Structure 1
Amino acid sequence: IENEYGNIEDSYGKGGKEYVKWAARMALGQDAGVPWVMCRQNDAPENV
């Protein structure tokens, strides 16, 4: 899972923010039973 995205997210505009949300939903949807870690950024979901 890409977690060093925050430094380039803005270059993709609205699509960059939507990607962060999609990646978080996809990871949590796997129901793997282990923590998922993304670099903390303002728009990362709280539970990731």
Structure 2
Amino acid sequence: MAYDRIMDFPGKFSDYILPDKIHVLNVCFNVNGMSEKFGGTAGNIA
């Protein structure tokens, strides 16, 4: 069984990721919430 975990991020990733520093990318994002539902791709493969 697979689950989809969707997280709500209040902003744009481009506000935090610097293009000239992408080679040393190390990030952590706080999210406002998360929802979990049945999903995944296993049903599509079977």
User: Normalising by the residue count of structure 2, what TM-score does the alignment of the two structures yield?
Assistant: 0.26
Higher gyration radius (CA): 2
Structure whose residues are more often strand by fraction: 2
Higher relative contact order, structure no. (Cα contacts within 8 Å, ≥ 6 residues apart): 2
User: Normalising by the residue count of structure 1, what TM-score does the alignment of the two structures yield?
Assistant: 0.25
